[in-house]
Amino acid sequence: MDFSSLEQRLLLIEKRLSQVESLLHLPASDAVQAETAISQPKEFENRSPARQGNWLGLVASLCFILAAGFIIKLSIDTGWLTPERQIGLAFLFGTLLIASGFVFIAIDKYYASLLPAAGIVVLYLSDFAAHRLYFLISFETAIVLTSLISILCITLYLRFRHDIYSIIAAIGSYLAPVVLDINANALFSLYYFLICSLTYATISIWVESRILIVMAAYLSILVTGLIGLSLQMDTLIAVFLALHFLVFAIGTYLYSKLGAEPMTERESWAFFPVLLIFYSLEYFYINRAYPGLAPWVSIGFSAILSGLYLSAKQWFPDRVISSRALIMAFATIVFFHSFYLELLPDAFKPWLFVAIIALCSFLPARLWDKPRDGAYYLPSLAIFLVLVIEYSSMLMHLLENSSYTWLLVSFASFASLWLLITRHRDHLIQKQEYGLALLIAAHLLGVSALYQFFHEISSLAVSASWLFYAVSVIAYAYFRKDKTMAKSALLILSVAAGKALLYDTASTPTGVRIFCLILTGAVLYGCGLLMKRIANWRG
């Protein structure tokens, strides 16, 4: 290969490119000295061993904790140490584990943090054993030591920034009275738990740890609720549960305000189970102490959360706060249970169906085509359940010998369904499955109401009313040029005609039978003519 000719060609190409750049008034390009990036396989290969090393560190920490426990067990079995020395040795072992973490902090901060975490657990266990097993210290002294260990744990969190310290501190603080024989100190423990909640809510803002306030909320509400089962002091437990709720709600609110950072979606949903636990326990205790008051108090708590959300929303006007879905989900559950199931009188519940359908009828059409936000899934499901429950209740009462009150609300519901179908006809044409479902619901409710109204007169009167209703629907559909509506009435027409021909004509005199056959035939023929024209419509 002639490299000299190749070099000349390259120089010629470069010269032509320079001429093009000068004509286009472009700056001359600098010499490109790019080197191909060579991947570093060593870094990639080290990631897996690092993770394996973390797991080994966790297992090692567990071994240290078990070792401390077996030291105490061995000393009990052999009797070679006094109780005071056993506890002292366990405390010393926990302290050495904490100090060891600071020795290795320069090598690997995350890995080194596992040793002090194990040391904190050993200190908690030593404190519990000193009171519960050997009675070396009083309950109050054990609680004070627990508080000091928790403060040490939070201090270590500030040094290592590992969430395991938040979890250990919360678990150790709230489970201490349970382990230390809570039955004899239940009232003291309630105040202690409240102080812990205030402390952890404040510390979580200071150290900027969401997981600390989440863990404290779960443990405080669960332990307080379980204590109340044996205390038989329902009002007191309900008050303390409410105080815990306010502490963590306001604490989370202030965390977002002072930190200028709203909760993420994952953080907000972490509070959802504890809200359900609180709602269940609070409702249970208030209902036992003051029957009838629990629904109102529950709605009040939902209003407090909603108010805090609306207030926090003012700080971030240009951002969507992820906690909106949480607030709406909790409010939906509270209103469905407390308002709909408990407070709303049975006589007014069917009218809720009328109100919801009528409200949907007057909603702007653009809302139906608007993309659905995930925050509205649970409220939409609750509304759908209310509609299904009340619709089924109306059908059941119409098939029985019910009062005219049910007949009235059924006709009102029937009218509201047709109002919805008429006002949003264009939208329902585009989504025929929704339109067909509404038409079937309206038809079933209509024929059930007609049966309840005319069945005491005669069976023939019921058939005639059904035929008249089917003809009216087909005629209206023909006038509105709605093929789906016309086809939906064919089932009613078929049932009414079959009932009139097979059942009513067999149980009536000859004259009435002749009239019934002529009338049924005329109706079927006329409807058939309309359906042939409707079938020729396009679209």
Residues 305 and 364 in one domain: no
Domain limit, last residue, from 154, 180, 206? 180
Q: Is residue 397 part of a domain?
A: yes
Domain limit, last residue, from 316, 342, 368? 342
Q: With cut-offs at 50, 70 and 90, classify the pLDDT of residue 372.
A: low
Residues 440 and 516 in one domain: yes
Q: Is residue 72 part of a domain?
A: yes
Q: Is 244 exposed, middle or buried, given 0-12, 13-18 or 19+ CB atoms closer than 10 A?
A: buried
What's the number of CA atoms in the CB half-sphere (13 Å) around residue 367? 8
Q: Is residue 14 part of a domain?
A: no
Residues 59 and 152 in one domain: yes
Domain region containing 379: 350-535
Q: Is residue 476 part of a domain?
A: yes
Considering its fold, how many domains does the chain have in total? 3
Render pLDDT for 208-243 as a digit per residue (tens, 0 to 9). 888 889 999 999 999 999 888 888 889 999 999 999
Q: Is residue 156 part of a domain?
A: yes
The reported pLDDT for the residue numbered 362 is 87
Residues 470 and 338 in one domain: no
Residues 336 and 475 in one domain: no
Residues 76 and 127 in one domain: yes
Query: Average pLDDT, whole number, for the chain?
Result: 80
Residues 502 and 358 in one domain: yes
The reported pLDDT for the residue numbered 350 is 93
Alpha helices in 232-346 (DSSP H): 234-259, 265-270, 272-289, 294-313, 324-334
Tell me which residue of 245, 177, 176 sits closest to 217, measured CA to CA: 245
Residues 173 and 190 in one domain: no
Q: With cut-offs at 50, 70 and 90, classify the pLDDT of residue 284.
A: very high
Residues 239 and 128 in one domain: no
The reported pLDDT for the residue numbered 181 is 63
Residues 414 and 312 in one domain: no
Render pLDDT for 460-476 as a digit per residue (tens, 0 to 9). 788 888 888 888 888 88
Residues 359 and 220 in one domain: no
Is 40 a residue whose pLDDT tops 60? no
Render pLDDT for 375-416 as a digit per residue (tens, 0 to 9). 788 999 999 999 999 999 999 988 887 678 888 999 999 999
Q: Is residue 2 part of a domain?
A: no
Q: Is residue 229 part of a domain?
A: yes
pTM, two decimal places: 0.75
Query: HEC states along 126-147?
Result: HHHHHHHCCCCCCHHHHHHHHH
The reported pLDDT for the residue numbered 471 is 84
Tell me which residue of 152, 147, 145 sits closest to 120, measured CA to CA: 152
Q: How far apart are CA 40 and CA 305, in angstroms?
A: 51
Residues 402 and 330 in one domain: no
Domain limit, last residue, from 152, 180, 208? 180
Q: Is residue 155 part of a domain?
A: yes
Tell me which residue of 377, 262, 248 sits closest to 325, measured CA to CA: 377
